[in-house]
A and B are shown apart, each in its own frame.
Chain A
Amino acid sequence: MRIDYTALSDEELLKRFISGEKPAFERLLEKYRERVSQFIRWRLCELDCHAEDLAQEVFMDVYLKAAGFRFESSFRTWLYSVCANKCLNFRRSHFNNAGRAETSAVEEEEMLAIPDGEPCQLEALEEAERREIVGAAVEALPAHFKETLLLRDWENLSYNEIAQVLDIPAGTVRSRLHNARALLALELRRRYELP
Protein backbone atom coordinates (compact mmCIF):
# COMPACT_ATOMS: atom_id res chain seq x y z
CA MET A 1 0.00 0.00 0.00
CA ARG A 2 1.34 3.41 -0.96
CA ILE A 3 1.68 5.81 1.99
CA ASP A 4 0.48 9.39 1.60
CA TYR A 5 3.27 11.26 3.38
CA THR A 6 1.60 14.63 2.84
CA ALA A 7 -1.14 13.60 5.26
CA LEU A 8 1.26 12.80 8.11
CA SER A 9 2.31 15.18 10.91
CA ASP A 10 5.92 16.30 11.17
CA GLU A 11 6.53 14.16 14.23
CA GLU A 12 5.04 11.12 12.51
CA LEU A 13 7.24 11.76 9.48
CA LEU A 14 10.29 12.01 11.70
CA LYS A 15 9.44 8.75 13.46
CA ARG A 16 9.02 7.02 10.12
CA PHE A 17 12.32 8.43 8.89
CA ILE A 18 14.08 7.21 12.03
CA SER A 19 12.66 3.76 11.41
CA GLY A 20 14.18 3.78 7.92
CA GLU A 21 11.59 5.32 5.59
CA LYS A 22 13.60 7.73 3.48
CA PRO A 23 10.57 9.27 1.68
CA ALA A 24 9.47 10.66 5.06
CA PHE A 25 12.63 12.77 5.16
CA GLU A 26 12.08 13.81 1.56
CA ARG A 27 8.65 15.08 2.57
CA LEU A 28 10.06 17.10 5.50
CA LEU A 29 12.70 18.57 3.22
CA GLU A 30 10.15 19.47 0.59
CA LYS A 31 7.83 21.01 3.18
CA TYR A 32 10.35 23.18 5.00
CA ARG A 33 13.25 23.98 2.71
CA GLU A 34 11.77 27.21 1.32
CA ARG A 35 10.80 28.55 4.73
CA VAL A 36 14.04 27.49 6.35
CA SER A 37 16.03 29.21 3.59
CA GLN A 38 13.95 32.34 4.02
CA PHE A 39 14.33 32.31 7.81
CA ILE A 40 18.10 31.96 7.48
CA ARG A 41 18.24 34.68 4.84
CA TRP A 42 16.48 37.14 7.12
CA ARG A 43 18.49 36.07 10.14
CA LEU A 44 21.84 36.39 8.39
CA CYS A 45 21.05 39.93 7.17
CA GLU A 46 24.02 41.06 5.10
CA LEU A 47 25.47 37.54 4.94
CA ASP A 48 22.35 36.18 3.27
CA CYS A 49 24.28 34.93 0.24
CA HIS A 50 25.29 31.99 2.45
CA ALA A 51 21.68 31.13 3.29
CA GLU A 52 21.36 28.18 0.93
CA ASP A 53 24.56 26.55 2.12
CA LEU A 54 23.45 26.93 5.73
CA ALA A 55 19.99 25.59 4.91
CA GLN A 56 21.62 22.48 3.47
CA GLU A 57 23.70 22.11 6.60
CA VAL A 58 20.55 22.39 8.69
CA PHE A 59 18.89 19.54 6.81
CA MET A 60 22.09 17.54 6.98
CA ASP A 61 22.00 17.99 10.78
CA VAL A 62 18.37 16.94 10.89
CA TYR A 63 19.23 13.87 8.84
CA LEU A 64 22.13 12.87 11.04
CA LYS A 65 20.68 13.79 14.43
CA ALA A 66 17.08 12.71 13.94
CA ALA A 67 17.63 9.53 15.94
CA GLY A 68 18.64 11.66 18.95
CA PHE A 69 15.48 13.81 18.87
CA ARG A 70 13.52 13.16 22.08
CA PHE A 71 10.13 14.50 20.95
CA GLU A 72 9.95 16.83 23.96
CA SER A 73 9.26 19.80 21.67
CA SER A 74 7.60 20.03 18.28
CA PHE A 75 9.66 19.21 15.22
CA ARG A 76 9.30 22.78 13.98
CA THR A 77 10.69 24.23 17.21
CA TRP A 78 13.67 21.91 16.97
CA LEU A 79 14.20 22.61 13.27
CA TYR A 80 14.21 26.39 13.72
CA SER A 81 16.39 26.12 16.83
CA VAL A 82 18.94 24.28 14.69
CA CYS A 83 18.65 27.09 12.11
CA ALA A 84 19.09 29.81 14.72
CA ASN A 85 22.16 28.09 16.19
CA LYS A 86 23.68 27.60 12.77
CA CYS A 87 23.19 31.29 11.99
CA LEU A 88 24.65 32.35 15.33
CA ASN A 89 27.74 30.17 14.87
CA PHE A 90 28.11 31.38 11.31
CA ARG A 91 27.98 35.02 12.35
CA ARG A 92 30.45 34.34 15.15
CA SER A 93 32.86 32.71 12.75
CA HIS A 94 32.55 35.65 10.37
CA PHE A 95 32.64 38.56 12.74
CA ASN A 96 34.43 36.97 15.68
CA ASN A 97 31.83 38.24 18.11
CA ALA A 98 28.95 36.80 20.06
CA GLY A 99 25.97 38.71 18.78
CA ARG A 100 24.02 39.32 15.64
CA ALA A 101 23.78 42.74 14.13
CA GLU A 102 20.47 44.31 15.05
CA THR A 103 19.81 46.65 12.19
CA SER A 104 16.50 47.98 13.42
CA ALA A 105 15.98 51.55 14.43
CA VAL A 106 12.97 50.40 16.44
CA GLU A 107 13.84 49.52 20.02
CA GLU A 108 12.25 46.49 21.65
CA GLU A 109 10.86 48.56 24.52
CA GLU A 110 9.21 51.10 22.29
CA MET A 111 5.65 50.08 21.39
CA LEU A 112 4.51 51.44 18.05
CA ALA A 113 1.03 52.87 17.57
CA ILE A 114 -1.30 50.78 15.44
CA PRO A 115 -3.04 52.77 12.70
CA ASP A 116 -6.66 53.36 13.63
CA GLY A 117 -7.95 54.43 10.22
CA GLU A 118 -10.03 52.20 7.97
CA PRO A 119 -7.94 49.24 6.78
CA CYS A 120 -6.84 49.50 3.16
CA GLN A 121 -8.79 47.37 0.70
CA LEU A 122 -5.99 45.18 -0.63
CA GLU A 123 -8.39 42.53 -1.89
CA ALA A 124 -9.90 45.11 -4.26
CA LEU A 125 -6.56 45.39 -6.07
CA GLU A 126 -5.40 43.24 -8.92
CA GLU A 127 -3.29 40.25 -7.98
CA ALA A 128 -0.02 41.64 -9.37
CA GLU A 129 -0.50 45.03 -7.74
CA ARG A 130 -1.40 43.47 -4.41
CA ARG A 131 1.69 41.25 -4.55
CA GLU A 132 3.86 44.24 -5.29
CA ILE A 133 2.51 46.30 -2.40
CA VAL A 134 2.68 43.43 0.10
CA GLY A 135 6.15 42.38 -1.05
CA ALA A 136 7.56 45.90 -0.78
CA ALA A 137 5.95 46.45 2.64
CA VAL A 138 7.23 43.14 4.05
CA GLU A 139 10.73 43.62 2.71
CA ALA A 140 10.84 47.09 4.27
CA LEU A 141 10.55 45.56 7.76
CA PRO A 142 13.65 45.01 9.88
CA ALA A 143 14.98 41.45 9.60
CA HIS A 144 14.28 40.51 13.23
CA PHE A 145 10.63 41.50 12.76
CA LYS A 146 10.33 39.36 9.64
CA GLU A 147 11.88 36.28 11.22
CA THR A 148 9.55 36.57 14.23
CA LEU A 149 6.53 36.99 11.97
CA LEU A 150 7.66 33.96 9.96
CA LEU A 151 7.73 31.79 13.07
CA ARG A 152 4.31 33.03 14.14
CA ASP A 153 2.30 33.50 10.94
CA TRP A 154 3.91 30.86 8.71
CA GLU A 155 4.80 28.23 11.25
CA ASN A 156 2.14 29.00 13.85
CA LEU A 157 4.57 28.60 16.76
CA SER A 158 3.42 29.77 20.19
CA TYR A 159 5.09 32.76 21.86
CA ASN A 160 6.98 30.42 24.19
CA GLU A 161 8.21 28.31 21.27
CA ILE A 162 9.37 31.42 19.41
CA ALA A 163 11.16 32.57 22.56
CA GLN A 164 12.89 29.19 22.73
CA VAL A 165 13.96 29.29 19.09
CA LEU A 166 15.23 32.88 19.17
CA ASP A 167 16.58 32.63 22.70
CA ILE A 168 14.75 35.74 23.89
CA PRO A 169 12.14 36.29 26.65
CA ALA A 170 8.48 35.59 25.79
CA GLY A 171 7.66 39.24 26.63
CA THR A 172 10.07 40.35 23.91
CA VAL A 173 8.33 38.06 21.42
CA ARG A 174 5.04 39.72 22.31
CA SER A 175 6.31 43.28 21.90
CA ARG A 176 8.22 42.37 18.76
CA LEU A 177 5.15 40.89 17.11
CA HIS A 178 3.10 43.91 18.13
CA ASN A 179 5.65 46.27 16.59
CA ALA A 180 6.14 44.13 13.49
CA ARG A 181 2.43 44.09 12.70
CA ALA A 182 1.94 47.75 13.54
CA LEU A 183 4.83 48.69 11.26
CA LEU A 184 3.60 46.37 8.50
CA ALA A 185 0.12 47.90 8.73
CA LEU A 186 1.68 51.37 8.39
CA GLU A 187 3.84 50.28 5.44
CA LEU A 188 0.86 48.70 3.68
CA ARG A 189 -1.21 51.83 4.18
CA ARG A 190 1.60 54.07 2.94
CA ARG A 191 2.13 52.03 -0.21
CA TYR A 192 -1.59 51.56 -0.81
CA GLU A 193 -2.18 55.31 -0.67
CA LEU A 194 0.68 56.16 -3.02
CA PRO A 195 -0.62 57.84 -6.20
Chain B
Amino acid sequence: MNCREISLFLSAYLDGELAGREQAVVAAHLPACAACRRRLENLKLAQSAFAAYEPAPASAGFERKPRSTSSHMERLLSFWRKIPEKRALALGLAGLLLVLQMSINFNREMKQSQPERQNRNAAMVQDDAIRRPESGYFRFSAARDEMAPPEESDF
Protein backbone atom coordinates (compact mmCIF):
# COMPACT_ATOMS: atom_id res chain seq x y z
CA MET B 1 0.00 0.00 0.00
CA ASN B 2 1.18 3.51 -0.74
CA CYS B 3 0.84 6.55 1.56
CA ARG B 4 -2.38 7.72 -0.03
CA GLU B 5 -4.08 4.37 0.59
CA ILE B 6 -2.67 4.19 4.11
CA SER B 7 -3.97 7.68 4.91
CA LEU B 8 -7.53 6.48 4.22
CA PHE B 9 -7.16 3.99 7.08
CA LEU B 10 -5.61 6.33 9.62
CA SER B 11 -8.79 7.67 11.21
CA ALA B 12 -10.19 4.17 11.72
CA TYR B 13 -6.74 3.06 12.94
CA LEU B 14 -6.92 5.80 15.56
CA ASP B 15 -10.31 4.48 16.68
CA GLY B 16 -9.18 0.83 16.74
CA GLU B 17 -11.84 0.02 14.14
CA LEU B 18 -9.64 -1.68 11.54
CA ALA B 19 -9.74 -5.37 10.84
CA GLY B 20 -6.67 -7.35 11.94
CA ARG B 21 -4.90 -7.37 8.59
CA GLU B 22 -5.46 -3.64 7.87
CA GLN B 23 -4.36 -2.81 11.40
CA ALA B 24 -1.13 -4.73 10.88
CA VAL B 25 -0.43 -3.07 7.51
CA VAL B 26 -0.83 0.44 8.95
CA ALA B 27 1.20 -0.41 12.05
CA ALA B 28 4.01 -1.71 9.83
CA HIS B 29 3.92 1.38 7.56
CA LEU B 30 4.03 4.11 10.21
CA PRO B 31 7.55 3.63 11.59
CA ALA B 32 8.95 3.95 8.08
CA CYS B 33 6.93 7.02 6.94
CA ALA B 34 7.31 10.43 8.61
CA ALA B 35 4.55 12.02 6.48
CA CYS B 36 1.97 9.42 7.56
CA ARG B 37 3.05 9.83 11.18
CA ARG B 38 2.42 13.57 10.87
CA ARG B 39 -0.98 12.86 9.31
CA LEU B 40 -1.79 10.63 12.24
CA GLU B 41 -0.65 13.36 14.66
CA ASN B 42 -2.91 15.87 12.91
CA LEU B 43 -5.84 13.48 13.23
CA LYS B 44 -5.07 12.98 16.91
CA LEU B 45 -4.97 16.74 17.38
CA ALA B 46 -8.37 17.09 15.69
CA GLN B 47 -9.74 14.26 17.80
CA SER B 48 -8.50 15.70 21.10
CA ALA B 49 -9.62 19.23 20.13
CA PHE B 50 -13.15 18.03 19.42
CA ALA B 51 -13.23 15.83 22.54
CA ALA B 52 -12.30 18.85 24.67
CA TYR B 53 -14.63 21.24 22.87
CA GLU B 54 -17.28 22.73 25.12
CA PRO B 55 -20.00 24.54 23.22
CA ALA B 56 -21.81 27.43 24.83
CA PRO B 57 -24.18 26.01 27.44
CA ALA B 58 -26.82 24.59 25.17
CA SER B 59 -29.33 23.88 27.84
CA ALA B 60 -29.34 27.21 29.62
CA GLY B 61 -33.01 27.06 28.73
CA PHE B 62 -33.26 23.77 30.57
CA GLU B 63 -32.51 25.71 33.74
CA ARG B 64 -34.41 28.80 32.72
CA LYS B 65 -37.66 27.14 31.81
CA PRO B 66 -39.32 25.66 34.87
CA ARG B 67 -41.01 23.02 32.75
CA SER B 68 -37.68 21.61 31.75
CA THR B 69 -36.43 20.71 35.19
CA SER B 70 -36.63 17.09 36.01
CA SER B 71 -38.67 17.76 39.14
CA HIS B 72 -41.23 19.56 37.02
CA MET B 73 -41.18 16.66 34.57
CA GLU B 74 -41.72 14.34 37.50
CA ARG B 75 -44.73 16.36 38.68
CA LEU B 76 -46.15 16.44 35.18
CA LEU B 77 -45.77 12.72 34.69
CA SER B 78 -47.13 11.87 38.12
CA PHE B 79 -50.20 13.97 37.32
CA TRP B 80 -50.74 11.97 34.12
CA ARG B 81 -50.37 8.75 36.00
CA LYS B 82 -52.77 9.80 38.75
CA ILE B 83 -55.57 10.67 36.35
CA PRO B 84 -57.39 7.35 37.01
CA GLU B 85 -57.11 7.98 40.75
CA LYS B 86 -58.58 11.42 40.29
CA ARG B 87 -61.45 10.22 38.20
CA ALA B 88 -63.81 9.84 41.19
CA LEU B 89 -62.89 13.31 42.38
CA ALA B 90 -63.50 14.71 38.92
CA LEU B 91 -66.87 12.95 38.66
CA GLY B 92 -67.93 14.24 42.09
CA LEU B 93 -66.91 17.74 41.13
CA ALA B 94 -68.81 17.51 37.86
CA GLY B 95 -71.92 16.29 39.73
CA LEU B 96 -71.67 19.17 42.17
CA LEU B 97 -71.39 21.66 39.35
CA LEU B 98 -74.41 20.11 37.66
CA VAL B 99 -76.52 20.39 40.82
CA LEU B 100 -75.37 23.99 41.28
CA GLN B 101 -76.27 24.85 37.72
CA MET B 102 -79.66 23.24 38.05
CA SER B 103 -80.45 25.13 41.26
CA ILE B 104 -79.41 28.43 39.64
CA ASN B 105 -81.66 27.73 36.68
CA PHE B 106 -84.53 26.80 38.97
CA ASN B 107 -84.21 30.00 40.99
CA ARG B 108 -84.02 32.09 37.85
CA GLU B 109 -87.14 30.45 36.49
CA MET B 110 -88.97 30.99 39.75
CA LYS B 111 -88.10 34.69 39.80
CA GLN B 112 -89.20 35.19 36.23
CA SER B 113 -92.57 33.47 36.73
CA GLN B 114 -93.45 35.07 40.12
CA PRO B 115 -95.51 38.08 38.80
CA GLU B 116 -97.21 35.81 36.36
CA ARG B 117 -98.09 33.40 39.13
CA GLN B 118 -99.37 36.20 41.35
CA ASN B 119 -101.61 37.41 38.53
CA ARG B 120 -102.82 33.89 37.99
CA ASN B 121 -103.56 33.46 41.73
CA ALA B 122 -105.44 36.73 41.88
CA ALA B 123 -107.51 35.74 38.89
CA MET B 124 -108.27 32.41 40.51
CA VAL B 125 -109.41 34.09 43.74
CA GLN B 126 -111.69 36.47 41.88
CA ASP B 127 -113.10 33.67 39.88
CA ASP B 128 -113.66 31.66 43.02
CA ALA B 129 -115.41 34.56 44.73
CA ILE B 130 -117.79 35.03 41.83
CA ARG B 131 -118.63 31.37 41.62
CA ARG B 132 -118.96 30.88 45.41
CA PRO B 133 -120.38 34.02 47.11
CA GLU B 134 -120.66 32.18 50.43
CA SER B 135 -116.96 31.61 50.50
CA GLY B 136 -114.94 32.95 53.41
CA TYR B 137 -113.41 35.78 51.50
CA PHE B 138 -116.76 37.07 50.33
CA ARG B 139 -118.30 36.74 53.77
CA PHE B 140 -115.40 38.58 55.35
CA SER B 141 -115.80 41.40 52.85
CA ALA B 142 -119.53 41.59 53.48
CA ALA B 143 -118.99 41.72 57.26
CA ARG B 144 -116.44 44.47 56.82
CA ASP B 145 -118.92 46.46 54.71
CA GLU B 146 -121.61 46.05 57.37
CA MET B 147 -119.32 47.22 60.16
CA ALA B 148 -118.32 50.34 58.29
CA PRO B 149 -120.04 53.55 59.60
CA PRO B 150 -122.77 54.83 57.35
CA GLU B 151 -121.72 57.54 55.05
CA GLU B 152 -122.92 60.98 56.16
CA SER B 153 -125.49 62.51 53.97
CA ASP B 154 -125.62 66.12 53.02
CA PHE B 155 -129.27 66.08 53.68
Task: List residues of chain A with CB under 8 Å of any chain B CB.
Answer: 22, 25-26, 29, 33-34, 37-38, 41, 51-52, 55-56, 59-60, 63-64, 111, 113-120, 122, 131, 134-135, 137-138, 149, 152-154, 158-159, 174, 177-178, 180-182, 184-185, 188-189
Contact = CB atoms under 8 A, between A and B. Distances in A.
Given A63-B77, A154-B51, A178-B12, A119 B59 contact: no
Contacts of A63: 73, 77
Interface string B59-77: 1011001011010011001
**Per DSSP, are chain A's interface residues mostly helix, strand or loop, or mixed?**
helix
A131 B51 CA distance: 12
Contacts of A113: 7
Nearest to B68: A56
Contacts of A51: 58
A41 B49 contact: no
Nearest to A41: B58
A46 B144 CA distance: 98
Interface in B116-131: none
Contacts of B67: 56
Interface of B: 7-8, 10-12, 15, 17, 35-36, 38-39, 41-47, 49-55, 57-59, 61-62, 65, 67-68, 70, 73-74, 77
A13 to B, nearest CB: 13
Contacts of B53: 134-135, 138
Contacts of B54: 131
Contacts of A185: 42-43, 45-46
Nearest to A113: B7
